[in-house]
Amino acid sequence: MNRYKELWRRILAETLSARTGRKVEESEIVTEVPPRPELGDLAFPLFPFAKSLRKSPKDVALELAAALRERAAEGRGVAEAAGPYLNVRLERPRVIAEVVRDVLAQGGGFGANGELAGQRVVVEFSSPNTNKPLHLGHMRNDAIGMAVARMLEACGAEVLRVNLINDRGIHICKSMLAYRRFGEGRTPESLGQKSDHLVGDYYVRYAKWAVEDPGAEAQAQALLLAWEQGDPEVRELWGTMNRWAIEGINQTYRKTGVRFDKVYRESETYLLGRAEILAGLERGVFQRDPDGSVWVDLTAQGLDRKVLLRSDGTSLYVTQDVGTAVQRHRDWPFNRQIYVVGNEQRYHFQVLFKVLALLGHAWAENLHHLAYGMVTLPEGMGKMKSREGTAVDADELVADLERLAVEQIRSKEREAEVEDLPGTAEKIALGALHYYLLAPSPYKDMVFDPNESISFTGATGPYLQYTGARISSMRRKFAERAESFRGGEFRAELLSAPEEWELAKSMAAFPDTVAQAARELNPALLATHLFELARTYASYYHDHPVLHNEDSALVVSRIRLAEAVRQVLACGMALIGVPFLEKM
């Protein structure tokens, strides 16, 4: 409804300017929604203007309502005094006609705006380790990252989707060490196993071995040092196992619709990070301790002392993240960079941003950590972990959701309707996964319930898909019976049911929700908006026949309204990664 809010803010600002003797800015006009529908559609509190007009807010409202009668046509509505408020009752047929026209005319571009035009934004997400396959935690990360990137693009920003592959470090060496000790030359091909799963098995094997052998950690550290020194044998094993891990992870990305514009690897940027730290050491920004390690003292900034280089000269996560950030800005100078990383890493990013600022990088102030909450399982099974082999594997999760989708389709006897059962089940699974992961605020912890996520009722992806498919089916039936409705034309004045007005308001508000979700980096706002739109439509469809009506003009009008709902659902679902289905 932002279009009508802005229109009336302008009208009010002009009218108040003429009465107060000063220019009243539109930003001074506060817009609210009346507490009850019968009070109107927009409400403007007039308390701020009572003093300058030397009248009570109630008298100001009465005076403005009288003065604005002549501008009713321009404002698509009538202004009425309601105590200290000026309420506006919009002209519903005209607004409905404009909303339906705009939605159908703009098609897949409905909801887009230019709020972020000219902005270059990097969104880093996923950032897998090459010692294990993706798990449910990565799925939430990927869903948020992809949705945020799409929302920013919808608001006009130029977005670079970036993945940082954590392909070096002690955790990688642990998998390598276990494979060298226990692998006996096994390969994904020889085992018939997905390649990233094989690598992950040896990370789990290391954790079990380390319990039995206290010297395992020292061996892993020695392997890391050998890697950094370029030992040929170590580098060869590292290259092989990284290739296995990345090939498998990329298969999962393709399956779940995740893509990147650029991929960085820590093994390619950590040396730059170390050079940056050493340069800072020379300038006195950092300090070297007696054991040779390099530290930054951030106590004055409310943090702590943080080691940046170990005593043996090897890098830490923060070191390589410094190098990656510097390289990224050289490659693609950005206005803003968003790191989609779990909230347990909040301190790490506070340190990283401070270190980059101390190094003199002015763009450090434009770095943002989207600290999303952790994912837990029902019945207190805990967070996603991989060292103990208890993580919810992403591939297995998607396969389970596909199986549950097939069961749902068969239980509803819809196999013949969907035609492509495996393909439809895959899209339902992805819709269930992405919606359920995005429905809560990204900043909150959540519980993922596979059975609940796949439900065709309630606030779920399949519910949105089912609503879209139902409207699509109705459109096909309308096309088949087009001759029956010949002569009928769209007439918004026939759409007088309260639910039809609620649908129009929800569709009109969709662009505002897209903009707000992008500003707040919160896809949950979109997910909620889409569910409310779908639920309102379901109630409307239940009580108001669309095709079964003798008035052809009413049929056409309701079909056009339904088509607009379908288009808004399709636009929103695309933003949050829920595939739209024509049949379900």
Q: Closest Cα partner for 536 from 582, 489, 569, 511?
A: 569
Asked if the model's pLDDT at residue 381 lies above 70, the reply is: no
Give dist(CA 302, CA 290) in Å, integer: 25
Query: Greatest CA separation found in the chain?
Result: 90
Asked if the model's pLDDT at residue 386 lies above 50, the reply is: no
Q: In what order do the strands lie in the sheet with 77-82?
A: 42-45, 85-90, 77-82
Contact 199, 132 (CB under 8 A): yes
Which residue did the predictor score with more confidence, 383 or 84? Answer: 84
Q: Closest Cα partner for 584 from 448, 429, 478, 395?
A: 429
Q: Closest Cα partner for 68 from 140, 22, 10, 134?
A: 10
Average pLDDT over residues 218-222: 95
Residues of the chain with CATH 3.30.1360.70: 2-90
Domain made up of 125-380: CATH architecture: 3-Layer(aba) Sandwich (3.40)
User: pLDDT band at residue 71, thresholds of 50, 70 and 90?
Assistant: confident
> What's the mean pLDDT when you consider all of the chain?
94
Asked if the model's pLDDT at residue 384 lies above 90, the reply is: no
Give dist(CA 311, CA 215) in Å, integer: 20
Strand partners, 45: 85
Q: Tens of pLDDT along 322-346?
A: 999 999 999 999 999 999 999 999 9
Which CA distances in Å does 503 have to 495, 527, 564?
Answer: 11, 16, 9
Helix, coil or strand: residue 323 = helix
Q: According to the CATH classification, is domain 2-90 in 3.90.1150.10?
A: no
End-to-end CA distance of the chain: 32
Asked if the model's pLDDT at residue 387 lies above 60, the reply is: no
Residues of the chain with CATH 3.40.50.620: 125-380
Instruction: Look up residue 152 and give its two tokens.
Output: 């920013």
- Residue 499 half-sphere exposure toward CB, CA atoms < 13 A: 18
Asked if the model's pLDDT at residue 72 lies above 80, the reply is: no
Helix, coil or strand: residue 422 = helix
Asked if the model's pLDDT at residue 391 lies above 80, the reply is: no
Torsion angle of alpha carbons 519, 524, 529, 530, nearest 10°?
120
Please report, as a single letter, which amino acid is at residue 83. G
Average pLDDT over residues 374-385: 64
Q: What is the pLDDT of residue 344?
A: 95
Residues of the chain with CATH 1.10.730.10: 430-576
Contact 340, 145 (CB under 8 A): yes
Task: Identify the helix (H) or strand (E) that includes residue 521.
Answer: none
Q: Closest Cα partner for 343 from 446, 445, 447?
A: 445
DSSP string for residues in 194-263? -HHHHHHHHHHHHHHHHHH-TTHHHHHHHHHHHHHTT-HHHHHHHHHHHHHHHHHHHHHHHHHT---SEE
Range 99-107 contact pairs with CB under 8 angstroms and sequence separation of 24 or more:
99/504, 99/507, 99/508, 99/564, 100/490, 100/492, 100/504, 100/507, 100/560, 100/561, 100/564, 103/507, 103/564, 103/567, 103/568, 104/560, 104/563, 104/564, 104/567, 107/567
Q: What global pTM score does this model have?
A: 0.92
Give dist(CA 522, CA 155) in Å, integer: 14
Q: Which fold has domain 430-576?
A: Isoleucyl-tRNA Synthetase; Domain 1 (1.10.730)
Asked if the model's pLDDT at residue 363 lies above 90, the reply is: yes
Q: Tens of pLDDT along 415-437?
A: 888 889 999 999 999 999 999 99
Q: What is the pLDDT of residue 390?
A: 56
Give dist(CA 399, CA 131) in Å, integer: 22
Give dist(CA 546, CA 484) in Å, integer: 13
Please report, as a single letter, which amino acid is at residue 373. G
